[in-house]
Structure 1
Amino acid sequence: MTSRPPVAAILSLGLTQIIGYGTLYYSFSILAPDMARDFGWSIDWVFGLLSASLFLSGLVAPFAGRLMDRFGAGRVMAFGSLAAALSLVISATAPHRGVFMAGLLLTELSSNLVQYGAAFALLVEIRPREAKRSITYLTLIAGFASTIFWPITTFLHTHLSWQQVYLVFAGLNLVLCLPLHAWLSLYGRGGRRAPETVSDGGQAVLGLLPYASRPQGFRLMLIGMGLLSFVNAALLFHMVPVLTGLGLGTTAVLVATLFGPAQVLSRFTNMIFGKNLGALQLAVLTAVFAPLGILVLTLTHPFVPGAMVFAVIFGFGSGLSSIIFGTLPLTLFGSEGYGARQGQITLVRLAASAISPFGLAVVMERSGPDMVLWSLIGLGLVALAFFAALARLGRLALQPA
Structure 2
Amino acid sequence: MSVVSAKASTSHILLLGIAQILVWGGSFFILAVLADPVVQETGWSRQWVYGGLSLGVLVSGLLAPACGRLIARQGGRTLLSLSGLGVAAGLTLMACAQHLPVFLLAWVVMGIGMAAGLYDALFATLGTCYGAQARSAISGITLVSGFCTAITWPIAAFMVSHLGWRGACLAYAAVLLLTIWPLYRRALPAPALAAQAPRPSQVAPEVAVNRLLYTVLTALFTLGAVLMTAISIQLITLLQGLGYSLASAVALSACLGPSQVASRIIDLLNRNGHPMWTALASVICTAVGLLLVTLGPSLVWVTVVGLVIFGAGNGLRAIIRGALPLALWSPAEYATVLGRMARPALLGQAATPLICGYVLEHQGPQAVLGLLCLLALINVALVAWLFRTLLGRGAA
How does the TM-score come out when normalised to structure 2? 0.91
1:300 corresponds to: 296
Preserved contact between residue 125 and residue 189 of structure 1 (Cα < 8 Å): no
Q: Distance in 2 between matches of 1:121 and 1:256?
A: 31
Does 1:141 find its partner at 2:172?
A: no
Which of 383, 386, 391 is the equivalent residue of 2:382? 386
Q: Distance in 2 between matches of 1:99 and 1:211?
A: 39
Deviations 1:33-62 (A, max 9, x none): 222334330122200222123123211111
2:201 corresponds to: none
Which of 165, 171, 177 is the equivalent residue of 1:174? 177
Instruction: State the secondary structure of the residue aligned to 1:26.
Output: coil
Does 1:245 find its partner at 2:244?
A: no
Q: Give the percent of matched residue pairs that are identical in Structure 1 and Structure 2.
A: 30
Counterparts in 2 of 1:162 and 1:5: CA distance versus 1, 3 Å: same
Counterparts of 1:186-335 in structure 2, within 5 Å, are: 186-190=189-193, 199=196, 214-249=210-245, 250-272=247-269, 274-335=270-331
Q: Distance in 2 between matches of 1:369 and 1:100?
A: 30
Deviation at 1:346, TM superposition (A): 2.2
Which of 123, 126, 131 is the equivalent residue of 1:128? 131
2:96 corresponds to: 93
Preserved contact between residue 214 and residue 333 of structure 1 (Cα < 8 Å): no
Structure 1 runs (4+) greater than 6 angstroms displaced: none
Deviation at 1:95, TM superposition (A): 4.5
Deviation at 1:315, TM superposition (A): 0.6
Deviations 1:145-190 (A, max 9, x none): 1110011111111110212111111112111111222344543344
Q: Distance in 1 between matches of 2:342 and 2:38?
A: 27
Q: CA RMSD in A?
A: 2.3
Preserved contact between residue 263 and residue 319 of structure 1 (Cα < 8 Å): yes
Counterparts of 1:141-160 in structure 2, within 5 Å, are: 141-160=144-163
Q: Distance in 2 between matches of 1:174 and 1:216?
A: 42
Preserved contact between residue 77 and residue 185 of structure 2 (Cα < 8 Å): yes
1:205 corresponds to: none
Q: Distance in 1 between matches of 2:331 and 2:266?
A: 26
Deviation at 1:231, TM superposition (A): 2.0
Deviates most, 375-384 or 4-13: 4-13
1:206 corresponds to: none
How does the TM-score come out when normalised to structure 1? 0.89
Aligned length: 385
Q: Distance in 2 between matches of 1:22 and 1:52?
A: 17
Which of 86, 103, 108 is the equivalent residue of 2:106? 103
Does 1:24 find its partner at 2:27?
A: yes
- Matched residue type, 1:255: L
Preserved contact between residue 227 and residue 372 of structure 2 (Cα < 8 Å): yes
Counterparts in 2 of 1:276 and 1:179: CA distance versus 1, 3 Å: closer
Q: Distance in 2 between matches of 1:307 and 1:77?
A: 39
Preserved contact between residue 233 and residue 352 of structure 1 (Cα < 8 Å): no
- Matched residue type, 2:266: T
User: Where in structure 2 are there 5+ consecutive unaligned residues?
Assistant: 199-205
Does 1:47 find its partner at 2:50?
A: yes
Instruction: State the secondary structure of the residue aligned to 1:248.
Output: coil
Instruction: State the secondary structure of the residue aligned to 1:301.
Output: coil
- Matched residue type, 1:308: V
Q: Distance in 2 between matches of 1:85 and 1:155?
A: 19
Deviation at 1:386, TM superposition (A): 1.2
Preserved contact between residue 293 and residue 314 of structure 1 (Cα < 8 Å): yes
Counterparts in 2 of 1:323 and 1:380: CA distance versus 1, 3 Å: same
- Matched residue type, 1:324: I
1:336 corresponds to: 332
Q: Distance in 1 between matches of 2:234 and 2:102?
A: 29
Preserved contact between residue 129 and residue 189 of structure 2 (Cα < 8 Å): no
Deviation at 1:264, TM superposition (A): 0.8
- Matched residue type, 1:389: W
Preserved contact between residue 127 and residue 331 of structure 2 (Cα < 8 Å): yes
Q: Distance in 2 between matches of 1:190 and 1:383?
A: 40
Deviations 1:219-248 (A, max 9, x none): 110011111222222123211111111122
Instruction: State the secondary structure of the residue aligned to 1:277.
Output: coil
Deviations 1:344-368 (A, max 9, x none): 2321222121212221222222222
Preserved contact between residue 122 and residue 188 of structure 1 (Cα < 8 Å): no
Q: Distance in 1 between matches of 2:207 and 2:215?
A: 14
2:364 corresponds to: 368
2:121 corresponds to: 118
Deviation at 1:200, TM superposition (A): 8.6
1:83 corresponds to: 86
- Matched residue type, 1:245: G
Counterparts in 2 of 1:96 and 1:248: CA distance versus 1, 3 Å: closer
Instruction: State the secondary structure of the residue aligned to 2:243.
Output: helix
Deviation at 1:113, TM superposition (A): 0.6
- Matched residue type, 1:113: A
Counterparts in 2 of 1:142 and 1:211: CA distance versus 1, 3 Å: closer
Instruction: State the secondary structure of the residue aligned to 1:337.
Output: helix
